[in-house]
Structure 1
């Protein structure tokens, strides 16, 4: 395949997503779906998070034993040496745990392969839809659906159809003054703003599918929330830019919190650089 993987690796990764996604769906439909405990950062941890993590860790270690895994649910001891890893998997076993608990259905599995701080492969899997979005920067992006014993692939592009104004994709649960200033600036400079809210990494999927113009993120999130989405969006023709205007890098700092960013469908538009200058 792509990104230095064997040609059969993509299907194997997608099959692994199905196994983890089915475990999530089993918990989602169970009588214990609303059970959770708070982690150190006060975010919720469910039985679904743990089940998906275990399946993905075991599967990735089997598929690529030489590539370490950095998961949201990794124990500190398992990732103590992460800064020395040039090539690694960055995984969120259940992105959108609050959406899972809130029964919105807006949650994903995120898997990124990071090589020398850049995401070179991204998979966002939607468990309830049994659909995956795969991106390899420089090669292309696809929506993937199960097809018999394999997967059917349909190319996608971040180029949105012509429309008036700007479609802003935003988090359902995060609002702040900087986001409101950004939206006000876009409305003043580019016409009416249509805001579409959704949870988890679905904003990256929507951008890659040409369903929006920009996803501004100025509230806390972590590298496993963003890495797969960046690979997907770059592969579809878009970009994820830090407030310095440069693409985000991963496993490059002591913290695993992601910098604030703009994810954009068309990085050639001067509007985004102008917006960044205002932030």
Structure 2
């Protein structure tokens, strides 16, 4: 395994946060105009916004000299990436279906993976300007209206809310996918209802579902339907920073990344 040099986590995450913001600006340029939708090989939609955001992220993260594995650059052979002890896991536009529906529930996801573990992550919501990020030994944070001008990591942290920020007493809340539902998920929610009595079900698109658990707005997010590693990696780091975890449903252990098959197993965030 190739050993990579030590990094300053604060410096590289400052770069990642700023890069996610710029990628979001590129996405909005397309979102605010009529746009064409193509089909990826897996039949999910691809837009100009995906490609432009990917290019912006690749350029921004290149200065860190850390390899990048992006949804839009997924064909890097496992024989090559298995040698990476550290890399960026990127989804330039998570929630493309929500983008196409124009409901605003899509994000830019950037995660730093070390030895198969998501250690730090950024999720940016271009339409609302909300920025989530999680950094080791600092925690997880939310900035409601992110402004990239004239700031830096310490100022961003000072202006952010530390997660979880919601501790209010409420009905047990389950968050689910707006565009991807399964019978297994419905059965699991019935089990939760039997255990907790009344439950509140909140629908949401993209990695924002993980963020709701990290914030404390929801108690659990079960996902018994297909996802890819780049769909969860950034949210995983944010959830961990907020004292939560993403568990592989088949093993009961925390999710790991950079598998030969980049398809996730079913999982539960809580």
- Per-residue CA deviation, residues 52-74 of structure 1 (Å, 9 max, x unaligned), is 00110111112x11x21000000
Q: Residues 238 and 137 (structure 1 numbering): CA distance in 2 closer, same or farther, change over 3 Å? A: farther
Counterpart contact for 1:125–1:132, Cα < 8 Å: yes
What is the DSSP-based 3-state SS (H/G/I as helix, E as strand, rest coil) of the residue aligned with 2:179?
coil
Aligned counterpart for 2:254 among listed residues 240, 244, 247: 247
What displacement does 1:79 show?
6.6
Cross-structure match for 2:80: 81
Counterpart contact for 2:175–2:202, Cα < 8 Å: yes
Counterpart contact for 2:246–2:267, Cα < 8 Å: yes
Aligned counterpart for 2:262 among listed residues 251, 256, 261: 256
Cross-structure match for 1:161: 167
CA distance in 1, matches of 2:38, 2:148: 37
Q: Residues 215 and 6 (structure 1 numbering): CA distance in 2 closer, same or farther, change over 3 Å? A: closer
The normalised TM-score by structure 2 is 0.89
- Per-residue CA deviation, residues 12-46 of structure 1 (Å, 9 max, x unaligned), is 222211211100000000122xx111111101110
Aligned counterpart for 2:182 among listed residues 163, 176, 188: 176
CA distance in 1, matches of 2:257, 2:191: 29
Counterpart contact for 2:172–2:196, Cα < 8 Å: yes
- Per-residue CA deviation, residues 170-206 of structure 1 (Å, 9 max, x unaligned), is 0001221111111011110112110000100011121
CA distance in 2, matches of 1:234, 1:155: 16
What are structure 2's unaligned runs of at least 5 residues? 1-5
Q: Does 1:190 align with 2:193?
A: no
Cross-structure match for 1:270: none
* Equivalent residues in 2 for 1:34-49, closer than 5 Å: 35-49=36-50
CA distance in 1, matches of 2:73, 2:93: 13
What displacement does 1:11 show?
2.8
Counterpart contact for 2:15–2:60, Cα < 8 Å: no
Q: Does 1:149 align with 2:150?
A: yes
Counterpart contact for 1:53–1:71, Cα < 8 Å: yes
- Per-residue CA deviation, residues 105-128 of structure 1 (Å, 9 max, x unaligned), is 000000000000001101001111
Q: Does 1:14 align with 2:17?
A: yes
Cross-structure match for 1:123: 122
What is the DSSP-based 3-state SS (H/G/I as helix, E as strand, rest coil) of the residue aligned with 2:41?
coil
Aligned residue pairs: how many? 257
Cross-structure match for 1:53: 54
Root-mean-square deviation over aligned CA pairs: 1.8
- Per-residue CA deviation, residues 120-152 of structure 1 (Å, 9 max, x unaligned), is 101001111222111124431111332751153
